[in-house]
Structure formats: C-alpha cells, structure tokens
Structure 1
Amino acid sequence: MLDVIYEAFIADSLISSKVGGRIKFYEYPETADMTKTHIVIDPLDTPKPSDFADNKWLMEDFMFQIEVWSKNKTDRDMIAKRIQYIMWDLNFGNDGSGVDEYDSDLSIYRDARRYRGKSYVI
C-alpha cells in the first residue's frame, strides 16, 4: 500500500511541481535538506486483517501519518489538502488527528495528518 500511495503522489501535478522527488518514507529528511518542501509517509501500524467471510479475511486495514514540511505555509496547506483528496480516492479517510505547527528553530511549517483505510487482499 505504501507504494500505491507514493505513486499516487508522484502522479499528481501539484505535488510533482512543488515537491518533486522529495517524498520519503520511514525516515525524515536531514535538517540541512529542509530548504525545500518535503512529504514524509509514515506507516503507524502493520496491516491488520479485516472484513471476514467464509473464515477468510478479505481486506487489510492500514494507518498512515503523512506529513508536509515546508518553508512556505501556503504551499504546505495546498499540498496537505491535495494529499487529503488523493487519500480519499485511495479509500483512506482522515481520522481527525494530526499536528499543525511551526518550528521556529528551522523556520519551517509542518502539517501531519493521520489516515486510515482498507484495501482488498489479493
């Protein structure tokens, strides 16, 4: 599922133009690298079996935190909103939790939102 999310972000024209290839998962960018906008995809839990029929599970439940780091608050907000639409198209809903903060040491804005969704088991 991580690859599906990554590919959906890369395919989006707004994200591609504002972020380019600065989409990370499992790791955060170096502080020196924070001059440009970044997206961090962080799996918060392992996939869980869900939606059972005939003693088999049909779907897996996922939870991700997706963060946008940017020096520009307007860009951060635009990208975070676009991510929310993309995640909705991938059957992930925003679970209502997250962080909206400004790091004065780095002069950078951060938006972190959590998404939960399901995917059919193949």
Structure 2
Amino acid sequence: MKKSILLLSFFLNLSIYSQKESGNLKIEINNLNKEQIINLLEEKTDYHFFYINSWLDNRRISKNFNNTSITNILDYILNDTAINYYITNDKKIILTYGNLISNSIYDNFDIDDSLSFVKKRKYLFL
C-alpha cells in the first residue's frame, strides 16, 4: 500500500513538473481581477512578474485555459489594456504601460510604413 501511494505521488509530481516545463498550462480563472490572475500564475508556474499595481484594473475575468502557453493567457487578460509584457530567459515577466520592450530591432521594420505605430508606442531596447 505504501509503495502504491509513493508511486502515485511520484507520478503526480512528475506530471505537474512536466506541465510547468513544457509551457502547457491548465488554469481555471473564476471571477478574478488581473492582479489575482497574476498571483495565480506565479503560484502555478515558475514565472515571476514585475509591474506597478495601479496599471491593473479591477475588471473581473472568468475563463478556463487548457493546454495553453503563458503568452496566450497574458494576451487574453491584457487584450483591452495598454499593458505590454516581455518574458526574459530566466522566467521573469516584465509588464510595461504603453511601451514595448525588445532585445533587437524587428526584421524588415520600416519606419515610414509604421510611423503611426511608432507615434503611439515608445520602444525600449535591452
């Protein structure tokens, strides 16, 4: 009996670890605001967020995500805001308000064609 419980515990932990590492998340969001969702994502993943609390509104969100990436979840919850995000290699997520962060200039970026976009957003390069 003890062996069965030990094996079951091992496989459950392995399953949770695999889910975190592969980026395929299963998250249930039930009537939470953006700050609560960020706290939930920090609990369920290895990511850590950096942001200013006043940027986040109190609008409640409910949605279930199955087998999805952190970027899909962030795109959904930040869709109606001026908040952008940048994910570092060491699993830090930096939220910015009205700024885009990039570690390089985009390929085929033409300022003439994108002038209206450039006027709306400031670019920060790392």
Same topology, TM > 0.5: no
The structure that is strand-richer by fraction is 1
| Greater Rg by CA | 2
Question: Which interval holds the TM-score relative to the shorter structure?
Answer: under 0.3
Normalization by structure 2: what TM-score? Answer: 0.27
